[in-house]
């Protein structure tokens, strides 16, 4: 089967954890590579983002990323319209033929509903995040986006939801038709994400062997709740004076070498909080890290914290589960789906800094608990395997063709 992915918002080849590049990119590449392994061909259409971008780049045997120029316009709704025209032109000019379109994120969905009409083929949508959830949890109000999502939901042939909760949200907040929705979670590449020795990992990463390490990994975005982690750590360093000299909080994500990063509103807010709480000694932005290095970081940390105010799935948590980390996550969205409190990790009530600090302290001082939660996390992660999830998605494609 030939499949056209639309990835208008972000190119899967850009460095992860920087600006808009995150879970969606990892999802697209892993799904495309798994589809390739089961004999399908995938073209991922995205916008040209560098001056000298090659138009077509092979990333796997039968997976290509195709860069198409788009309107250099701040109005993404207009630019998505022009991207649709470019995509159609490219497909016709190169006599390409696809059986199905799979759009990722709502801007791609807007392109997809036009393309499906022109090519007369079915279209599958994965939202990755939903505007209404961002409004409810992140207080980001974008009515135009929500309206666009509703239109996509009406016109798409199939919608892939990552969790039962996302299915519920689509039904409740978007009045989606139940028979269009397929619950298929993402997976994790267990060949990359596996438990490594803590000392070996710290030595490789030049991290001290004698400190407690608390880790955060992700895009630096208000939705990730990094401020909650800083506040929680500040409580601990005030309450337990010995703590201050004995821990590091490593914040992975963002391009720390660019001026733009330090001018970003969220980065400035977090940096100020670190200064106010006098935590410059121990809380560090260390920038984004290549995907293949993350298993070392997950294994080097004593505790991995995901304090998001909302998370539709949370690949970082799944990856660190696969590495046997002791995880503390907020009880929201996909995080509450992946982590069962006191079984394979710990959950704290979203936004509750006191609860986060209490759990952190408990875990940092209880090696046995960390190890047993980590073991169960590793076990629980086994059912999330890309090869299996990709087959479920192929079934959806076949059903709609
Ligand atoms: N990631 C990475 N390097 C970084 C930061 C993030 O490789 O420096 C990857 C991470 O491994 C994960 C993805 O980016 O696969 C983030 O996905 P998640 O679902 O946690 O968050 P999202 O970006 O979708 O909000």
Q: Which of 230, 217, 308 is nearest to 273 (CA)?
A: 230
Q: Which of 22, 192, 310 to mutate to test the pocket of ligand 1 (most atoms within 8 A of CB)?
A: 22
The model's pLDDT over 217-228, given as tens digits with 9 standing for 90+, comes to 999 999 999 999
Mutate to test the pocket of ligand 1, among 253, 311, 315 (most ligand atoms within 8 A of CB): 315
pTM of the model: 0.94
User: What is the atom index within ligand 1 of the atom nearest the CA of 288?
Assistant: 8
User: What pLDDT was estimated at residue 53?
Assistant: 67
pLDDT digits (tens, 9 = 90+) for 315-327: 999 999 999 999 9
Q: What is the mean pLDDT of the chain?
A: 94
Q: What is the 335 CA–ligand 1 centroid distance (Å)?
A: 14
Ligand 1 atom closest to the CA of 254, numbered from 1: 8
pLDDT at res. 251: 98
Instruction: Please identify, by atom number, the ligand 1 atom nearest to the C-alpha of residue 22.
Output: 23
Most ligand 1 atoms within 8 A of CB, residue of 166, 189, 217, 313 to mutate: 217
- Report which of 195, 162, 204, 221 is spatially closest to residue 320, judged by C-alpha positions: 195
- Rg value, the chain, Cα: 21
Supply the residue whose CA is at minimum distance from atom 23 of ligand 1: 22
Q: pLDDT band for position 49 (50/70/90)? A: confident
Which conformational region is residue 105 in: left (phi greater than 0), alpha (psi within -120 to 50 degrees), or beta? left
The residues facing 188 across adjacent strands are 385
- DSSP strands (E only) in 95-171: 100-104, 123-126, 158-161
Question: For residue 91, how far is its CA from the centre of ligand 1 (angstroms)?
Answer: 31
Separation CA 20–CA 24 (nearest Å): 9
Closest-CA residue, ligand 1 atom 24, reads 23
| Structural domains of the chain sorted by starting position, each given as residue range(s) with its CATH number in brackets | 2-187+385-400 (3.40.50.2000), 198-381 (3.40.50.2000)
Weakest mean pLDDT among 78-82, 142-146, 157-161, 298-302: 78-82
Q: For residue range 146-202, list pLDDT tens digits in order.
A: 999 999 999 999 999 999 999 999 999 999 999 999 999 999 999 999 999 999 999
- The answer to whether 362 touches 212, Cβ cutoff 8 Å, is no
| Residue count of the chain | 401
Torsion from C-alpha of 26, 29, 33, 36, nearest 10 degrees: 150
Give the Å distance between the CA of 305 and the centre of ligand 1: 14
pLDDT of 337 strictly over 80:
yes
* 111 Cα distance to chain centroid: 22
CA trace torsion 93, 98, 102, 103 (10° rounding): 20
Atom of ligand 1 nearest to the CA of 311: 25
CA of 13 to the centre of ligand 1 (A): 13
Using CB distances shorter than 6 Å, the residues near ligand 1 are 16-17, 22-24, 26, 217-219, 252-253, 288-289, 291, 294, 313-316, 319
Query: Which of 128, 351, 378 lies closest to 231, judged by CA?
Result: 351
Which tens digit of pLDDT belongs to each residue from 229-248? 999 999 999 988 888 789 99
Nearest atom of ligand 1 to the alpha carbon of 287: 8
């Amino acid at each position: 089967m030939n499949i056209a992915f639309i990835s208008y918002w972000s190119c899967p080849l850009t460095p992860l954890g920087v600006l808009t590049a995150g879970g969606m990119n990892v999802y697209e590449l892993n799904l495309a590579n798994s589809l390739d392994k089961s004999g399908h061909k995938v073209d991922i259409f995205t916008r040209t983002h560098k001056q000298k971008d090659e138009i077509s780049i092979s990333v796997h045997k039968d997976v290509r990323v195709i860069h198409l120029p788009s309107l250099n316009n701040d109005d993404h709704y207009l630019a998505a319209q022009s991207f649709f025209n470019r995509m159609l032109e490219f497909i016709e000019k190169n006599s390409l033929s696809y059986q199905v379109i799979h759009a990722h994120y709502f801007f791609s969905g807007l392109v997809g509903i036009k393309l499906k009409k022109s090519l007369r083929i079915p279209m599958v949508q994965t939202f990755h995040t939903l505007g209404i959830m961002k409004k409810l949890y992140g207080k980001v109000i974008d009515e135009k986006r929500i309206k666009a999502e509703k239109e996509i939901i009406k016109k798409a042939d199939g919608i892939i939801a990552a969790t039962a909760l996302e299915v519920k949200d689509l039904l409740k907040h978007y009045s989606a038709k139940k028979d269009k929705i397929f619950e298929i979670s993402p997976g994790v590449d267990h060949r990359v994400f596996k438990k490594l020795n803590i000392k070996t990992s710290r030595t490789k990463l030049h991290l001290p062997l004698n400190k407690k390490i608390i880790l955060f990994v992700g895009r630096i975005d208000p939705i990730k709740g990094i401020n909650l982690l800083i506040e929680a750590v500040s409580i601990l360093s005030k309450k337990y004076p010995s703590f201050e000299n004995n821990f590091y909080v490593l914040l992975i994500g963002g391009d720390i070498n660019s001026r733009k990063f330090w001018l970003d509103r969220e980065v400035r807010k977090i940096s100020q909080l670190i200064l106010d709480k006098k935590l410059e000694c121990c809380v560090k932005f260390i920038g984004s890290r290549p995907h293949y290095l993350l298993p070392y970081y997950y294994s080097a940390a004593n505790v991995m914290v995901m304090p998001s105010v909302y998370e539709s799935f949370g690949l970082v948590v799944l990856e660190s589960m696969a590495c046997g980390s002791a995880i503390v996550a907020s009880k929201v969205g996909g995080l509450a789906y992946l982590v069962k409190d006191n079984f394979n990790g710990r959950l704290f009530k979203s936004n509750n800094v006191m609860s986060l600090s209490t759990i952190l302290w408990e875990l940092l001082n209880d090696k046995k608990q960390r190890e047993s939660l980590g073991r169960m996390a590793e076990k629980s992660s086994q059912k999330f395997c890309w090869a299996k999830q990709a087959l479920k998605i192929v079934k959806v494609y076949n059903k709609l063709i």
